Amino acid sequence: MNRLSYIGARLVKTVLITIAVVLLSFFLVRLAPGDTATVMAGQGGFADEAFMKSLRAEYGLDQPVLVQLWKYISAVAGGDLGNSFVRRQPVLDVILERLPNTLLLNAFALLVAVAGGVLMGMAAARRPGSTTDASMTVLSMIFYAMPQFWLGMMAMLVFSVWLGWLPPFGLETMGADYTGLARLGDIAVHMILPGVTLALYFMASYARLTRTAMIEVADQDFVKTARAKGIGEGQVARRHILRNALVPLITFAGLQSAILVGGSVLVENVFSWPGVGTLAYEAVTTRDNPLLLGIFIVTAVLVSLFNLVTDIAYSIADPRVEQGR
Amino acid sequence: MEPLIAIKDLIVSLPPGADRAHAVDGVSLSILPNEILCIVGESGSGKSLTAHAIMRLLPRGVSASSGEILFEGTDVLRLSPSAMRKLRGAGVAMIFQDPMAALNPVVTIGKQITEQIRAHRAISEKAALEQAAGLLAEMGLKDPKALLKSFPHQLSGGQRQRVMIAMALSLSPKLLIADEPTTALDVTTQAQILKLIKRIQTERQMSVLFITHDFGVVADMADRVAVMRHGRVVEEGGASDVLGDPKHSYTRALIAAVPRGESMLQPVAQDAPLLSVKDLAKNFRRGGFFSGASAVKAVDRVSLTLSRGETLGIVGESGSGKSTLARCVIRLLDPDAGEMLFDGADIAHMGERQLRPLRRRIQMVFQDPFSSLNPRQTVGEIVIAGPRAYGEDMKEARSRAADILRLVGLNPETMHRFPHEFSGGQRQRIGLARALMLKPDILIADEPVSALDVTVQAQVLKLLDDVRQQMNLAMLFITHDMRVAAQVCHRVMVMRHGQVVESGPTREVFAAPSSEYTRSLLAAIPGRGKLASV
């Protein structure tokens, strides 16, 4: 099967998955007791039956569920994710405004996790059972075991409050109005704490995975062949061992990019990062169902796309893999 | 003449806790320029570790603890790592048993050859690629330019081994170490590769250290022979001396164990066949969804009959469809077309519920004695599981298991042990006991001895034949090895590309093969006619 038709088939699957996500989440968010009207009435501090009724009528919540579903699906099919109850803006606009921030944070975290994890794993695999190996194992267990929100708060305490090296929260310095390179630099500095916090957990997995893969590959015949050819140890390690050990990492990176989108909810909130994660949190607490559903849909599409990219990357890294098999 | 390489009192130590202290125990050998020395021995003889010691490529924890290996007068065991690196590939090159595993799967063939050339010589990638193309052509490979851009998995086994040899020769080494280079190949491919190695050895006047377990291969290749056992050389001498007049009893036993490819068995009288297969077909589909699916005819209208007390050999190279055929007969695969009459009932398309009572009557012994036994079950559990599944009483199953284990030559007291505590040959006996516990009428043996050493192989073959006689079994014997087929089969059927090329009584097929393909299979048997009867 050639690559284009494979991508076509995968895109069809993406659409099917998205439809399933829409249906499932539409009913799931309605399982929770209460609705937007109760939350709004609660915020107002006072409400009578008539007011509640008018609120529900305004948002279409008084109609039968299936009617609501049908209206929603037809709108989504036309590219309209509806309006946010709370913000009174189109959901798509709200999400698209926040999405770049989340993608930026996740891309940075992915990069840090892969680079750090592979380096740790390589160091550990060089001599299994050595002190370096043992300390890498302990270090990655610590990263693995620490809850992200706690790690985030501690990092904030140490590096922002005590040492004052890094800004504690936000995307950029408020009121500074930097432009151009200065602004990019400002954002980069703000990204370090949340990005690294998000990355550490995954870095631990990469370290473990790289270590195992490298030790396993190092025992294979072609590594012996490489040595028998008289090429240097550095080239043996890079071209023959690492190159093969990286193949399973690609699968993991694909899975991780999907988990990152969900995992960033906590970290974004801890660091007040204006991304989709904080938005999702707001949508849950205010019962902003259209917004929440919109976030689910956008996330589902993203995850499917990440998986597609993973598969393509995998087939490039490992020529034995033919797509669709 | 000065030897090119002289090994003196080499001792290779195993890590503490191994079953013995030394894998190689005081070996002294030398190889003259322009000479092929074959080291022959069974697994665990230390032949391969001796070769690896020359390259200083011993596995982790294993080391050459004393002795010297003089290559042109210099002791390689005392070379610095960088001097050793310069010697590897340029002075001594090595090829391995499984060319698929020995080539890096994610790097192109071209890159793998040029990296060796460029590690030793300061030339451009382009020049190195040209040299590589020339080498591939010298190995008899067609379209070298395209090959350089391919990956190992896109090549056949024979092509891969030719690529390995081309790579090994790229710097014109003085010594080529070939560690069982044809063991993983089909017999016709093996014959070609052996011929190739012999040709380049003569042309380039190199020395070759050839490691093998197969005396047939020795007969084809060796100028001199060294026989190893338990880490020592038990006999050494000129090829014609050792092969024609072996002095050591172990050498004699090894040579005697090599099947000669001469049929000993008379066809049995054909009564009404127990199994009769007609026009059986099985296709495998490739691709799907968007692209057009293509079907591979793995078994293409095959017919056969099998009677009680008879062994039918199904012979073919890899990809011939012989294993697929076996799996269809035992209904691990569902055939696409055709019929299989077993004791009067057509089992080709029978539903699982009807089939179940018949399943116990057709049993199978598998090729790999290591992966075919569940490592977490004891021998007793493995052997008893079948009858228990058919509702046999525990006590009776136990007592029968003891009898069957005794029948296959195992001590019944070992029932509580786990498979890993047994040798390859013993495990194959366990696999046979498992099959026999179900009192089958038909026993399918799928390459049952190809993973075993030659002396063990001879024992297991004899056991299979004894059991067939005692239990009046009908046996379907799948093998790639004509020599083995000759030894145990009354009739043979030669398969190629899913079709039957030729079939008939073993004696007739071997004496007067009617098809070109069968002739080429027979001609490819290593050492044919060169081994003395001892």
Predicted confidence (pLDDT) per residue in A166-212, tens digit: 887 777 777 777 777 878 888 888 888 888 888 888 899 899 999 99
Confidence of residue B263 (pLDDT cuts 50, 70, 90): low
Do the Cβ atoms of A243 and B106 come within 8 Å?
yes
Residues in A closer than 8 angstroms to B169, CB to CB, are none
Do the Cβ atoms of A239 and B115 come within 8 Å?
yes
Q: Is residue B300 part of a domain?
A: no
pLDDT at B290: 46
Cβ-proximal residues to B34 (8 Å cutoff; 6+ apart), any chain: B201, B205, B206, B207
Nearest neighbour of A230 by CB, restricted to B88, B102, B151: B88
Pick from B139, B158, B177: which residue ends a domain? B158
Predicted confidence (pLDDT) per residue in B469-497, tens digit: 999 999 999 998 888 898 899 999 999 99
pLDDT at A263: 67
Do the Cβ atoms of A318 and B85 come within 8 Å?
no
Task: Compare all CA atoms of chain B with the CA of A232 and give the residue at the minimum distance.
Answer: B85
Mean pLDDT of chain A: 83
Q: Is the pLDDT at B288 greater than 50, yes or no?
A: no
pLDDT at B104: 94
Predicted confidence (pLDDT) per residue in B420-458, tens digit: 888 888 999 999 999 999 999 999 999 988 878 888 888
Q: A with B: how many residue pairs have Cβ under 8 Å apart?
A: 94
Cβ-proximal residues to A172 (8 Å cutoff; 6+ apart), any chain: A178, A183, A186, A187, A190
In chain B, how many domains are there? 2
Do the Cβ atoms of B89 and A228 come within 8 Å?
yes
How many other β-carbons are positioned within 10 Å of the β-carbon of residue B469?
A: 10
Pick from B158, B174, B201: which residue ends a domain? B158
Q: How far apart are CA B2 and CA A67, in angstroms?
A: 96
Report whether B55 contacts B88 (CB < 8 A). Answer: yes
Q: Is residue B166 part of a domain?
A: no
Q: Is the pLDDT at B202 greater than 60, yes or no?
A: yes
Beta pairing class for B345-346 and B337-342: antiparallel
Predicted confidence (pLDDT) per residue in B308-317, tens digit: 999 999 999 8
CA angle, B395 as apex, B393 and B401 as ends, to 5°? 100
More confident residue, B282 or A172: B282
Instruction: HSE, CB side, 13 Å, CA atoms: give it for residue B24.
Output: 29
Q: Which of B400, B268, B280, B264 is nearest to B329 (CA)?
A: B280
Residue for token digits 């975290």? A109
pLDDT at B293: 57
DSSP state letter for A83: B
Residues in A closer than 8 angstroms to B167, CB to CB, are 229
Backbone angles phi, psi at B403, to 5 degrees: -65, -45
Predicted confidence (pLDDT) per residue in A275-287, tens digit: 888 898 888 888 8
Q: How far apart are CA B41 and CA B232, in angstroms?
A: 10
Helix or strand run (H / E) with residue B228: strand B224-229
Q: Is the pLDDT at B35 greater than 90, yes or no?
A: yes
pLDDT at A324: 43
Nearest neighbour of A319 by CB, restricted to B57, B106, B287: B106
Confidence of residue B19 (pLDDT cuts 50, 70, 90): confident
Beta pairing class for B474-479 and B442-446: parallel
**In this structure, is the dihedral angle defined by the CA atoms of residues B485, B487, B483 and B210, taken in order, positive or negative?**
positive
Residue type, B482: M
Do the Cβ atoms of B106 and A244 come within 8 Å?
yes
Predicted confidence (pLDDT) per residue in B216-227, tens digit: 899 999 999 999
Do the Cβ atoms of A2 and B57 come within 8 Å?
no
Confidence of residue B532 (pLDDT cuts 50, 70, 90): low
Residue B399 sits in a domain whose CATH number is 3.40.50.300
* CB burial readout B158-175, b (16+ within 10 A) else e: bbbbbbbbbbbbbbebbb
Q: How far apart are CA B281 and CA B326, in angstroms?
A: 12
Q: Looking at residues A16-21, what average pLDDT do you find?
A: 84
Helix or strand run (H / E) with residue B119: helix B109-120
Confidence of residue B66 (pLDDT cuts 50, 70, 90): very high
Predicted confidence (pLDDT) per residue in B67-119, tens digit: 999 999 999 999 999 999 999 999 999 999 888 899 999 999 999 999 999 99
Least confident residue range of A65-69, B299-303, B373-377? A65-69
Q: Print the domain residue range for B141.
A: 103-158
Nearest neighbour of A324 by CB, restricted to B55, B102, B289: B289
How many other β-carbons are positioned within 10 Å of the β-carbon of residue B114?
A: 24
Query: How far is C-alpha B256 from the geometric centre of its chain's CA atoms?
Result: 19
Predicted confidence (pLDDT) per residue in B451-465, tens digit: 788 888 888 899 999
CA angle, B497 as apex, B522 and B156 as ends, to 5°? 80
**In this structure, is the dihedral angle defined by the CA atoms of residues A27, A31, A37 and A39, taken in order, positive or negative?**
negative
Report whether B38 contacts B201 (CB < 8 A). Answer: no
Confidence of residue B166 (pLDDT cuts 50, 70, 90): very high
pLDDT above 90: percentage of residues in chain B: 65
Q: How far apart are CA A252 and CA A248, in angstroms?
A: 7
Do the Cβ atoms of B119 and A318 come within 8 Å?
no
Q: Is residue B207 part of a domain?
A: no
B102 in contact with A at a CB cutoff of 8 Å?
yes
Task: Compare all CA atoms of chain B with the CA of A316 and give the residue at the minimum distance.
Answer: B106
Q: At B171, list the tokens.
A: 């710097």
pLDDT at A166: 81
Helix or strand run (H / E) with residue A263: helix A243-270
Mean pLDDT of chain B: 90
Q: Is the pLDDT at B268 greater than 80, yes or no?
A: no
Domains assigned to chain A: 13-77 (no CATH), 98-317 (1.10.3720.10)
Q: Is residue B181 part of a domain?
A: no
- Which 230-269 residues of chain A touch chain B by CB within 8 A? 230-232, 235, 239-240, 243-244, 247
More confident residue, B230 or A67: B230
SS3 sequence, A118-132?
HHHHHHHHHCCCCHH
Q: How far apart are CA B427 and CA A216, in angstroms?
A: 27
Q: Looking at residues B275-299, what average pLDDT do you find?
A: 77
A317 in contact with B at a CB cutoff of 8 Å?
yes
**In this structure, is the dihedral angle defined by the CA atoms of residues B241, B244, B249 and B250, taken in order, positive or negative?**
positive
Do the Cβ atoms of B89 and A324 come within 8 Å?
no
- Which 266-295 residues of chain A touch chain B by CB within 8 A? none
Do the Cβ atoms of A222 and B119 come within 8 Å?
no
